[in-house]
Amino acid sequence: MKPLASMYLKPLAMSGALAAGMLLLSACSGGGGNAASPLTPQSQAVSATHPGGAAPLQTEASSRGLEPNVRRACNPSNEPNVWSCMALIRTDVGGLGPDNSPVGYTPGDLQSAYDLPSSTAGAGQTIAVVEAYDDPNAQSDFDFYRKFFKLPKCKKKCFQKVNQNGQKSPLPSACGSCGWDVELSLDMEMVSAICPNCDVIVVEAESATTTDLGTGVDSAIKLGATVVSNSYGGGGTSGASFYDHPGTIITASAGDDGYGVAVPAGFPTVVAVGGTTLHLSDGQRSTETVWGSSSGGEGTGSGCETSLSKPSWQTDTGCKGRTMNDVSADANPNTGVAIYDTYSQHGWLEVGGTSVSSPVVASIYGLAGNASTLTAAQSLYASGASLFDVTSGADGSCSPAYLCTAETGYDGPTGNGAPIGATAF
């Protein structure tokens, strides 16, 4: 089968001002905080309202800031060809030791909200999560999380940790407080939460460069992963070939800085996963809206990537290129998930960002067990696909409005909607 990337990549067309202002992301410049973008709010506004034009890069949007009770696990920086994790940590809760009760949505909450067959499906499926650097406590945190929530006991080979070349040793160095351990804990624990019968491969890249992370994706698939989740991203279009594997579903986070595009989520061969604000009542979904605000700032990424061609299954008319997103799930840190991390943290945290929604959606593909028969996000666009239509909320201001504002049917921030069971996957 011809690699899909060769069908969709076009030369990157970028204005001089945009190229000069691009701020790429770095994984290891210290935990938390916001790095200022060199672009002015005025230049962002011009990009944001260009009809049918390129959305701002997620990295440009980072100057818009986060809510006061949220910090980034991984800091942005100006290093080229380096991507950043997209986990957001609530600072007003968490940091709780193992004897405390967790704060945030539990596996049971997520399974119930999305009506998932988590107790019966997923056997024989392997979900890989690709990270940068080593987390020496990954196995023990994984085991603690599963035991605490009374998830099925992990069978032999249910958990593997390998380097970017798919080998058990040598593992890369840890990076102290750079934040990738939080991302790793979040990703592998969300796989356990959604698809506890799935096997998990944690791939640890030497660094957060495009090449190292991409090599990790290739290795995960060689090891038998049926679905690969990537909770990181940045600007540009380099590395597309790493994310083009027909017969394997690859998901990626849309970003956490409101209206704007990023890769690898923007590659047409990838399922771009946006973020929502999910509220529950008596364990059931009561409301689900776009995570974000019409004024921009913290929220899911979305938009039009004009340098990448539109896949055949996307039929929206306001973007001549690839439109983000395809699907969505909970990502708001204030309706975040409980995770357990003891390498750079003290135990329980409440975490959000589209770093939550990517492994959640990847794991629903695991429950469905259809990855080998699917072509990227195409099934999500099928007539009658069982998805919850998110119809309210926005992640910025733009034209045409559907690229940043929810509406009936397809829209940029939430794609075709949020999960209802696993049949659409």
Q: How far is CA 92 from CA 87, 89, 103, 245, 345, in A?
A: 16, 9, 11, 41, 14
Q: What are 258's two structure tokens?
A: 């409101």
Q: Are 303 and 392 in contact (CB under 8 A)?
A: no
Q: What are 109's two structure tokens?
A: 């909450």
Q: Are 128 and 136 in contact (CB under 8 A)?
A: no
- The mean predicted confidence, pLDDT, of the chain is 87
pLDDT of residue 259: 97
Asked if the structure places residue 89 within a domain, the reply is yes
Q: Which of 79-83, 237-241, 404-408 is predicted least confidently?
A: 79-83
Asked if the structure places residue 351 within a domain, the reply is yes
pLDDT of residue 79: 79
pLDDT of residue 16: 32
Total domains in the fold of the chain:
1
Is the pLDDT confidence value at 33 over 70?
A: no
Rounded distance, CA 266 to CA 268, Å? 6
With tokens 């020496």, the residue in question is 136
pLDDT of residue 80: 78
**Nearest C-alpha neighbor of 60 from the set 23, 15, 108:** 23
Asked if the structure places residue 425 within a domain, the reply is no
Q: What are 63's two structure tokens?
A: 């100057």
Q: Strands 126-132 and 199-205: what pairing?
A: parallel
pLDDT of residue 235: 85
Rounded distance, CA 283 to CA 115, Å? 10
Q: What is the 3-state secondary structure (H, E, C) of 194-249?
A: HCCCCEEEEEEECCCEHHHHHHHHHHHHHCCCCEEEECEEECCCCCHHHHCCCCCE
* Confidence band, pLDDT 50/70/90 cuts, at residue 94: low
Asked if the structure places residue 290 within a domain, the reply is yes
pLDDT tens for 70-89 read: 999 998 867 778 999 999 99
For 199, other C-beta atoms within 10 Å of its C-beta total 24
Which residue range(s) make up the domain with 103? 5-419
pLDDT of residue 156: 78
pLDDT of residue 55: 66
Asked if the structure places residue 349 within a domain, the reply is yes
Q: Which of 42-51, 128-137, 158-167, 415-424 is predicted least confidently?
A: 42-51
Asked if the structure places residue 381 within a domain, the reply is yes
Task: Indicate the pTM of the whole model.
Answer: 0.87
pLDDT of residue 191: 98
DSSP 192: H
pLDDT of residue 54: 55
User: What dihedral angle (degrees, nearest 10) is formed by the CA atoms of 288, 292, 293, 298?
Assistant: 160
Q: What are 406's two structure tokens?
A: 């929810």
Residue 376 sits in a domain whose CATH number is 3.40.50.200
pLDDT tens for 266-276 read: 999 999 999 99
Asked if the structure places residue 92 within a domain, the reply is yes
Is the pLDDT confidence value at 59 over 80?
A: no
pLDDT of residue 77: 61
Asked if the structure places residue 241 within a domain, the reply is yes
pLDDT tens for 300-329 read: 999 999 999 999 999 999 999 999 999 999
pLDDT of residue 98: 79
